[in-house]
Amino acid sequence: TIGGYMSRSVSSKYTIAAFFSGVGGIELGFEQTNKFRVVYANEFDKNANITYKLNFPDIQLDNRDIHIVSSSDIKAEKIDVIVGGFPCQAFSIAGYRKGFEDDRGDLFFELLRIIKEKKPKAVFIENVKNMVSHNHGKTFKVIKEALTLNGYYIKWKVLNGKDYGNIPQNRERIYIVGFLEKSAYDAFIFPDEIPLTTSLSDIIDFNGKMDEYYYYTEDKNKFYDELKSAIKSSETIYQWRRQYVRENKTGVVPTLTANMGTGGHNVPLILTKDKRIRKLTPKETFNAQGYPLDYKLPDNIAKGQLYKQAGNSVVVPLVKRIALNISIALDNSNNESNTINLNLPYVLTYTNMNGRYDGESYVYATSKDRNELEKIVEVNNQKNDSTPIEVFTNEEYLQFVLKNKNGTFYSIIKND
């Protein structure tokens, strides 16, 4: 047993192809379970590539644009899981909510192309919380339907790193998990909330002496007086918000962003025990994402790039907890293939949502005739003693999401 989990031999581990790998946070979380091994990774950013290779020297790293990557470039005989956190800027507040209109918005469809060609047993996607409500729910509707119409039974949930990863960072992200087999889907559950026992002092050095670069002083910073008057405690984290200082009242690190270190002084600030004000170091921002202490940061990359890499990454211990549950679900799969014909023109999908941030969906039936699907719903409702399940139109679905309701419904989709 390694780390409390039964170790698998290399040959028996589930294989992973990773996309938009960044510096490998998702891969790290999966590999820490000892149930998975990464056989292919794709990352276009040249600086992220340097950090990735330093920490994963044995993984095949493809540094090309995903638009020109073919599924045949993945040399492994089979791929069990495809993972990816496609660039979230197109869906985040920081990206001005452009979504699919942004040039980066089509990257999901490139990931989908690879998924369709490789047909892995499972998929794992991470993104910003705002993706669910972006464009009045239309963006996530497209993603949900694209996965289900390609045979995946999916579950999604927004989880916060401080509540589910035991890491003191306020980081809400949506996690989408899909399985080709219904038995694996039925066996999968998202991890439960756990107590936050990791303290700020576990990830930040309030006592040590750092390079002078990280300190704010009167002679270097024209807004130093504002910092000094507001930053009074070594028990919390602060941010300079262009005109004022914000104290993070929750006692954890505020959400790390990709634009840290690129201007605007967005790197979180602390008051050291010797009463000096400084920004977190790049290593501390990686600590705040739950990276292990032995994770290496290259010396030949600008600090701004390292901050960006941390801000773009994931809460590793939370990914590890989800990955462990994915492995349990795959272990419990009965290996029965989906017998539903996904090439018919009309598709009936089932969706259950506990608010917009927690749900599940899959294809229930398909037909050449829309009326036949409506008849299936009618028969199901007659058999069921509880409240009948409605068939939602697109407009009704979007209203349901907008109002953040709980409930179950069907949708009939024209399979173009």
412: which strand partners? 348
The catalytically annotated residue of 39, 41, 66, 88 is 88
The sign of the CA dihedral 188, 189, 195, 196 is: positive
DSSP state of 195: -
Is 88 among the residues known to form the active site? yes
Contacts of 306 (CB under 8 A, 6+ apart): 51, 261, 282, 285, 297
Q: How do strand 36-42 and strand 61-62 relate by DSSP bridges? A: parallel
* Residue 25 and residue 316 in contact, taking contact as beta carbons nearer than 8 Å: yes
* Residue 148 and residue 101 in contact, taking contact as beta carbons nearer than 8 Å: no
How far is residue 304 from each of residues 194, 276, 402, measured CA to CA in Å?
A: 33, 22, 37
Burial class (CB in 10 A: 0-12, 13-18, 19+), 103: exposed
Contacts of 153 (CB under 8 A, 6+ apart): 178, 179, 180, 181, 182, 184, 185, 360, 361, 362
Contacts of 264 (CB under 8 A, 6+ apart): 242
* Residue 401 and residue 137 in contact, taking contact as beta carbons nearer than 8 Å: yes
Q: Which residues are catalytic?
A: 88
